[in-house]
Amino acid sequence: MAKSSFTIQNQQDHLRYLDMLKEEFTKKFQERSPCMNSVDDYDIIKAIGNGAYGEVFLVRNKSTFTYHAMKVVAKEVVVERKHVKHLILEKKILDCVQFPFTLTMDVAFKDNVYLYFILPFVAGGEMFNYIQKYGNFSDELSKFYAGQIVLAIEYIHHCEVIHRDIKPENILIDVTGYIKLCDFGFSKKIKKKTWTLCGTPEYLAPEIIMSRGYNYAVDWWAVGVLIYEMEAGTPPFYAGEPAKLYDNIIEGRYKFPENMNGECRNLVKGFLQVDPSKRIGSLIGGVYDIKSHSWFKEIDWHALLHQRLEPPFMPVCNSSGDTSNFPEISQPMLQRCSKCLYEAEFEDF
């Protein structure tokens, strides 16, 4: 296998850059951001997504006429699921992350019924929709996206944040052709280990399933699953029943498609090590082992970081408010209430 031109000195230079970003993240994390806006400051154009907690709408600021994505979360649902701390932490993390390949929050606020996250509108839509549309990606495109995810995960880990839900649905394709990692709903600041069972079944690392306590290595496992899915069109672990799926993950049982090249297979094997202490990204070489891997030998990491590489694919977007890359969904109406619900629980939001 051909060697990468990425050197240890290149990595040391990048780590100094990450140190500066971490300092900015930590400083902002310790501050409390004020709630400056309200839902009445925006025209709701269309619902473009939904999830476990609520809906995502395309909105337009009434003053600036700029388009945004507005994530709306019902307080009642959050309290019922005992996820109040999760949502408050998600807000803080989204407010603090500042990196080319992570989604950063513009502003957050609340009313009597809902919590609101105002985010940049990424008009290209979810990576998941493109995998469904095209079946799988070329090796060149998979590598281009994977490189950005590696840089994004390296950044958030440097800020002591674990993501825990890396998957195609949580990766947006920008109009520039570059990606944005989004949805920090399962994210958490950790020092060493955590034990919470959370994530998406097909992307769960073995140590999460076995409740052994886990660390940042679970995100590298998920990157391996992601690369496999981009190349093959389906995740490596799949079963009709959850118990069988979890058995396959714990045993590391999966097969490579014949058309996946050897260098990519080698890297995916490195990510999908059942023993997290043997998983690439968590070894003594850290992220350098990933960046210097032969599959990435053609990637200029500095140029990628600064978005100077020509994207292999550009989403079709006809205007700044174009929603054609999002699936058609039902259009819910937001509720109003004269009484402030769960005021004490969300005092710190």
Q: Which residues are annotated as a binding site for ATP?
A: 75
CA dihedral 283, 266, 152, 71 (to 10 degrees): -120
Q: Residues 95, 165, 174, 322: which is the catalytic one?
A: 165
> What residues have CB less than 8 Å from 179, skipping those under 6 apart?
101, 127, 145, 148, 149, 171, 172, 173
- Asked if residues 199 and 208 have their Cβ atoms less than 8 Å apart, the reply is yes
The structure tokens 């990510």 sit at: 271
Picking from 294, 300, 339, the residue whose alpha carbon sits closest to that of residue 113 is 339
State the DSSP code for 2.
P
Q: How far apart are CA 281 and CA 314, in angstroms?
A: 29
| Cβ pair 110, 349 in contact under 8 A | yes
Q: Measuring CA to CA, which residue among 130, 75, 128 is closest to residue 347?
A: 75
User: How many residues are present in the chain?
Assistant: 349
User: At 53, phi and psi to the nearest 5?
Assistant: -105, -20
Distances (CA, A) of 276 to 98, 161, 295, 327: 28, 18, 21, 37
11: nearest Cα among 299, 316, 285, 322: 285
Identify whether 165 is a catalytic site residue. Answer: yes
Coil vs helix vs strand at 321: coil
Annotated binding site: 75
Contact 274, 252 (CB under 8 A): yes
Residue 206: strand pairing partners:
none
The pair phi, psi for residue 97, each rounded to 5°, is -70, 135
The residues carrying an active-site annotation are 165
